[in-house]
Chain A
């Protein structure tokens, strides 16, 4: 298995010096088609293997996402969109994955593989049990799919600009999975003039709730809990702020009381340090101006009297909920910035939301999903159609 601090290409079971290996990797390999049957067969095998890993929720979710029916749906949508077009893979995609959402690199890789690209993946040298498990399953499955293996190079290294520079010089697409400081830094390292880049910056996500149109029950709490406590609010798509639309204080308190009991059953793991982080953040926010703060064992709430006062930067996660009352959807969509990613909705119609977004030409929110689906990865993410960004479309005009 990969060793810390080394450049390791586990697929070849040999430690090789990057430049020579990468250069030879580029040549003489049979190419993959867009939605190549061999790729689909490989991904099915991978899905089955991941679905066995019952003790790792994130791995199972990945296996579920990879299941045959879902890939078929992705394929149908893609082919429909590009009907009649002449398409080719872009070539080599260099994925720079974050170290703390273990499965992101695979979503990124799979989409790229589906449209026939060769891939270089940089995985952080920081490790954990789940990541190692993923890598074992992944490399094991690849052993029986040698043709696919030729299109994937896993590279593991720490903070080494020389390696990043070499790999960047070889790619046709570079994908940087945030945060902002990482993107800023990697962007100082050039890619070829013909290459393109996709970046996924730090984002801040909301829930939009009309409590009057919701049945307050455990199923509702479960969905709210899943969107906030998975990754303890530290994913870009995690719900950190709740927008209540014309909801009475009584109704909201009813929700929170119920959610408190729900959390007491769930018992999320929050470390002492994280409680202190929350308390310090709240104290700091309160010191500037009087606010309404409520605290319970598993979550803390702070109410902002104006949506524009919401402080993205200071939100620390770990069960901290910002709250704001709005009287119309327009308030939310005129406020929204590029920094807002997911809006988890319940109790409000799709039509009303789309109408308000369009009317206000909103600059924010890349995903509008049902509450409970904040962390479901989709091929359209952060405003990109990832699949379509990874192909080359030839304009044939004869």
Chain B
């Protein structure tokens, strides 16, 4: 890919420029993976995409993201790192990274985060335990997330112990040490709520986080169960610890680096090197703005595995393009949750769990 794109502000490109860049980039990646990944070539050929002309991003074949749980897909012999998803269903996604892809992921993430944090590395509080960083060559999605975000902070402080208990002493020391400067907090949404917010709230611990910027991600499935919405999440932090700058982000282990961050106006944004499409869940036809459907994610980063166009199992809606109040260009959207499993009818096994 043309790395000049990293010289630009990550939300600079408007519709036409971006589309041209995305189509050229996805085209290049499609050919690359077709040539180097036999399974991917078989799939494209079977679905009639072997010699297709691509005019817009909607023209590409989207791999259902579940396929990474079923088979190994890779287009490079020089794998330096593997990532695995923290699957809740038992099966685990495995993603293979070569040096180039790993570098591109880092660069992309830096560009995105700088748009929200500035260039300085901030003192960083991590709502997790150190234990997750055991094996440096084989990361879980959680560890990869923590490692990725760690680049934007210094004085990394892991504030949970191995049994997910909040170390209040450690937290208070950290806050008093950096009380007059901005700090960065990162954690997975569920853990931030369950192991950080809750103990603070329940034990009435008096802390002021008005100088903090919180980044969190990792799906709302567990929180939906607890009836915690994004709005309630934000409201609660503001009320209890005066934390106002909160950014949720959406992304997946299959496309690390090109994440979609929630802006000051509360919208998830597509950066220059990534995009989304909403599709009808039945016909898979692309839908227009404000229509709800399945989220398809495009990214220019994956060079070592064919993960550049993926059909997710999440529902979402595009809210606008190039005109968000925050000033960032590109599409902005919101995620509405995971599609639900329907009851299976027929003579299958039901007596045994």
Which residues of A are at the interface with B, using a C-beta cutoff of 8 A?
Answer: 96, 98-101, 104, 124, 126, 128, 159, 177-182, 185-186, 200, 202-203, 231-236, 238, 270-276, 279-280, 282-284, 286-293, 295, 297-298, 302, 317
Contact A235 B346 (CB under 8 A): yes
Contact B342 A274 (CB under 8 A): yes
Contact B71 A287 (CB under 8 A): yes
Would you mind naming 17 contact pairs between A and B with Cβ atoms under 8 Å apart?
A: A100-B346, A178-B347, A181-B352, A182-B350, A185-B352, A234-B345, A234-B346, A273-B339, A276-B294, A276-B339, A279-B284, A283-B64, A284-B71, A288-B42, A289-B42, A297-B283, A317-B346
Nearest chain A residue, comparing its CB with the CB of B351 = A182
A317 to B342, CA, bound (A): 13
A274 partner residues in chain B, CB cutoff 8 A: 342
Contact B347 A297 (CB under 8 A): no
B66 partner residues in chain A, CB cutoff 8 A: 276, 280
Contact A272 B294 (CB under 8 A): yes
A10 to B344, CA, bound (A): 27
- 4 more contacts with CB within 8 A, not counting A234-B348, A286-B43, are A98-B350, A179-B349, A272-B294, A280-B64
B64 partner residues in chain A, CB cutoff 8 A: 276, 279-280, 283
B25 interface residue per 8 A CB criterion: no
B169 interface residue per 8 A CB criterion: no
Contact A185 B351 (CB under 8 A): yes
A288 partner residues in chain B, CB cutoff 8 A: 39, 42
Contact B46 A202 (CB under 8 A): no
B283 partner residues in chain A, CB cutoff 8 A: 297
B308 interface residue per 8 A CB criterion: no
B343 interface residue per 8 A CB criterion: yes
Q: A280-B70, A283-B64 are in contact. Are A272 and B339 (CB under 8 A)?
A: yes
Nearest-CB distance from B284 to chain A (Å)?
7
* Residue from B45, B313, B340, B353 within 8 A of A290 (CB atoms): B45
B282 partner residues in chain A, CB cutoff 8 A: 270, 272, 275, 297-298
A286 partner residues in chain B, CB cutoff 8 A: 42-43, 45-47
Contact A279 B311 (CB under 8 A): yes
A185 to B64, CA, bound (A): 34
Nearest-CB distance from B209 to chain A (Å)?
38
A293 to B315, CA, bound (A): 26
A293 to B349, CA, bound (A): 29
B164 interface residue per 8 A CB criterion: no
Nearest-CB distance from B316 to chain A (Å)?
12
A186, A275, A302 pick with most chain B CB within 10 angstroms: A275
Contact B345 A101 (CB under 8 A): yes
A101 to B315, CA, bound (A): 30
Nearest chain A residue, comparing its CB with the CB of B42 = A290
Nearest-CB distance from A236 to chain B (Å)?
5
A181 partner residues in chain B, CB cutoff 8 A: 349, 352
Contact A231 B351 (CB under 8 A): no
Contact A99 B46 (CB under 8 A): no
A124, A275, A287, A297 pick with most chain B CB within 10 angstroms: A287
A232 to B346, CA, bound (A): 8
Contact A234 B351 (CB under 8 A): no
Nearest-CB distance from A98 to chain B (Å)?
6
Contact B347 A200 (CB under 8 A): yes
B63 interface residue per 8 A CB criterion: yes
A234 partner residues in chain B, CB cutoff 8 A: 344-348
* Residue from A159, A231, A292 within 8 A of B345 (CB atoms): A231
B47 partner residues in chain A, CB cutoff 8 A: 282, 286, 293, 295
Nearest-CB distance from B286 to chain A (Å)?
14
Contact A124 B351 (CB under 8 A): yes
Nearest-CB distance from A273 to chain B (Å)?
5
A236 to B349, CA, bound (A): 11
A283 partner residues in chain B, CB cutoff 8 A: 43, 63-64, 67
